[in-house]
Amino acid sequence: MKPKISSTLLIPMMVMAVAFCAHGVVFDFVDGSDAEAINGGPGQSWTIVGTSNSVTLTTVDVIGDDGSSALDGSNNTVNVDAWDSLTVDSWNTNDWERGIDASEGWVFNFDRDVTLTELEFESLDEGYEVTLSSPAFTTAVQTNDTLRTGEGRWALNLDVPAGTPITLINTGFGEFRIESVTILSDEPPNEDVGERAYDFELVADGAVIADQSTGRSANASVIRVPDWIPPGQRAATNANYYMYYGQHSGPYIQMKWAETLDGPWMEFNLGGTYNGQDRRGVFDTDADATREDYDHVFSPDVHVDDINQQIVMYYHGQNQPSTTTLTTGQKVPNRHANFVATSHYGLNFNDPDEAGGDPGHGPIEVTFDGITREVFLGDVYQRVFEFRGNYYSLSKRAIMAMAPDPSDPWAPPADDPGTSTAEPFNMAWVEENTPSDLWINDANPGGQDSYFSPAATFLASSAFAVHPNNPHPGRRIFSEGEHDDGLRLNHCSLNLLAEQEQLEVFFYVRADVETDLYDDEYRIVLDISHPDFQQWTVATNGDGLHLFDVVVTDDEIAAAVQAANPGADPDVYADPSSMGMGAVFVDDDGGKYLFCTYYSAVNGGSSGTSEGQITAIRLFPAYDGHDAWVSTNFPSGYPGRMVDSDLDGFDNFSEFIAGTDPNDQNEKFVVNGVSSQPDVTVDWHSVSGRVYSVYWTDQLTNNWQMVTNGLPYPQNSWTDTGHSGDDAGFYRITVEMD
């Protein structure tokens, strides 16, 4: 056999390494949690780790309803009780009501300088009056006039030096209960707590790809234009990438194209007048007389269908202006849902009969009893993937669903005359509805009233509250409007790790208030190995820790932009102050990108959904030692991972993986030699901390077969005894971090 050799760099998709912790700390008074450390009188304290020196909240005094002081000998205590709140017990008067009653108070301090930013109340009875006083600030009073009864939050901005007492007292007559205390600290993040799966680099120095010139740009979906679309049928002859997006209340799906991911990104409008409207973007409901009153279309999820040579777009919208009644008496409810449309070349998803769409394409519809509507596939903001021959999706709150028939995934449900609503217009896909033990025994009793999904269950559980990557230790996210200022797992983006039988779920957390505690990009990994998707769960590592991490923060992107472009113009370069959905895109070369929706610090957007602008970053596996390697090899400044500093054909990150010198053109990962008498032996340069694998194929057009793997340093050769009799063959050597 005459062997031909190629060396290859293998970059693993996930290695946990870099640390993160946020500046905000929430003392959340949850019964049965670490919060019970505060129970009792003066001196009782609760420490939350997560910032560089941790933070300790200590009770200084407890004031009874008769004005007595625990410091003066009374037995008054604070109590974290079954209402998941902090209350005061006045023992002198035997008042153990579950609340802070008239004249009762709590005096507390922190062990370092903080800014008191919020008090959250589990309940507020009519007639309450909360008074805060301290030597550090002017007395503040909160009454029924400024905060509604029932429950609510008091936004504050009070700087308090370490050890300075804060007195909270009920100066009204209606009781209240404290659910949480939120502070900010000027201490730097602790880089020894938590882990990251990814590092990042800006794409095009953080250039703004889409702004608010046509509305609040958001929720991108990116594809590489397939080779089967000829140049003349593209948005431009040199268009290689399409980015589809929308605005939350917009009537059309927008699209921009680029030759490279670095841009520039050029706007595309289909054109042609229908229904008196010059068609905008690639799908314009105003240009369609049958859809112009359907409210809006948004959040495209676009896929290349190579088999049928078409482009598929799943999208969110409204099925009709109002509820329709059929001749059978059955109802077709007005609803926001997810639908699907196709296009021959990805430029026109409009209805061919009503708005000049591609013949044989457009929205997938169902007609029943003379009524035509789009097929209702699943819940809103659906993101679809194929796995093991089936179609699955995650929607808002990471709700999971599956197509009943993978051979016809967009088929409507069959008619059932016995139902009050017309079945063909109901949801076509089957949703997961099997709550796990984590929801039954933890998230549900912990405060999440409704079941949504495994991912939402984890965020509402104690497993998330104590997770080392939780930016606000002790806090849960319930994904229900009545909790946590509406904090909820919102739009998702997916990346299938088929070999690992895992699904990466990139998401952001929506908030209904300006104090957005979780304002970054996050990731949960689902274990999808079970053949029944009803049994899928959040994946865990070898230590039983759920796979959750912070992908990137708004501050990190903003800092990187300023480093690359000092004094950057926010109209040109990103200035995020809160992150929205990060749409993941994996290119043909394996490069992984996030197209990030964000709220601009200068230009604004939608604060609740963090919508407004779009920029892009590239993700890289995070490794211990990479920063030190950069400092050693690039003391004058790192030009970037994807730069080939020594022009040897390998970019800097590949040289790091291989353990070669990024500044020496003669040092690169190659096969040193080969012999074939009688068996084939391949030799390579082995480096400490790396492992090597060998692959073989008889033709370069065929798949590679692994013949051995996990060869550690210092092994630098391998002999193939299995293909000695073959006429010819090819070998590939891969390297990865140990």
Whether residue 227 is predicted with pLDDT greater than 90 in this model: the reply is: yes
Q: Which two tokens stand for residue 580?
A: 């929205």
Whether residue 282 is predicted with pLDDT greater than 70 in this model: the reply is: yes
- pLDDT at position 12: 34
- pLDDT at position 146: 52
Q: How is domain 2-15+666-737 classified at the CATH fold level?
A: Immunoglobulin-like (2.60.40)
The residue with greater pLDDT, 606 or 567, is 567
Could you read off the pLDDT of 651-684 as tens digits, one per residue? 898 899 899 999 999 998 888 877 777 788 889 8
The residue with greater pLDDT, 482 or 450, is 450
Whether residue 255 is predicted with pLDDT greater than 90 in this model: the reply is: yes
Helix (H, G, I), strand (E, B) or coil at 583: strand
Whether residue 194 is predicted with pLDDT greater than 80 in this model: the reply is: no
Helix (H, G, I), strand (E, B) or coil at 674: strand
- pLDDT at position 167: 97
Could you read off the pLDDT of 264-273 as tens digits, one per residue? 999 999 999 9
Of 522, 483, 438, give the one whose Cα is nearest residue 26: 483
Class of domain 24-184: mainly beta
Confidence of residue 716 (pLDDT cuts 50, 70, 90): very high
Whether residue 734 is predicted with pLDDT greater than 70 in this model: the reply is: yes
Span 409-421, average pLDDT? 92
Can you tell me the distance from the alpha carbon of 564 to that of 584, in angstroms, rounded to the nearest whole number? 23
Q: Over the range 318-356, which residues count as b (16 or more CB within 10 Å of their CB) and which as e? A: bbbeeebeeeeebebbeeebbbbbbbbbbbbbbbeebbb
Residues 6+ apart with CB under 8 A from 440: none
Residue 308 · residue 345 · CB < 8 Å: no
Can you tell me the distance from the alpha carbon of 245 to that of 261, in angstroms, rounded to the nearest whole number? 16
Helices (H) and strands (E) in the chain, counts: 7, 47
- pLDDT at position 26: 80
The residue with greater pLDDT, 214 or 139, is 139
Whether residue 513 is predicted with pLDDT greater than 80 in this model: the reply is: no
- pLDDT at position 18: 23
Instruction: Give the strand pairing for 2-9 and 728-737.
Output: parallel
- pLDDT at position 480: 82
Lowest-pLDDT range of 24-33, 165-174, 406-415, 697-706: 24-33
Q: Give the mean pLDDT of the chain.
A: 88
Could you read off the pLDDT of 680-710 as tens digits, one per residue? 888 988 999 999 999 988 888 888 899 999 9
Q: Over the range 428-455, which residues count as b (16 or more CB within 10 Å of their CB) and which as e? A: bbebbeebbebbeebbbebbbeebbbbb
Confidence of residue 736 (pLDDT cuts 50, 70, 90): confident
Q: Model pTM?
A: 0.74
Span 492-509, average pLDDT? 96
Could you read off the pLDDT of 398-413 as tens digits, one per residue? 999 999 999 999 999 9
- pLDDT at position 3: 44
Domain ranges of the chain: 2-15+666-737, 24-184, 220-431, 435-621
The residue with greater pLDDT, 608 or 139, is 139
Lowest-pLDDT range of 22-26, 227-231, 259-263, 712-716: 22-26
291 conformational bin, left if phi > 0, alpha if psi -120 to 50, beta if neither: alpha
Q: Which two tokens stand for residue 263?
A: 């841009």
- pLDDT at position 157: 78
Can you tell me the distance from the alpha carbon of 247 to that of 385, in angstroms, rounded to the nearest whole number? 23
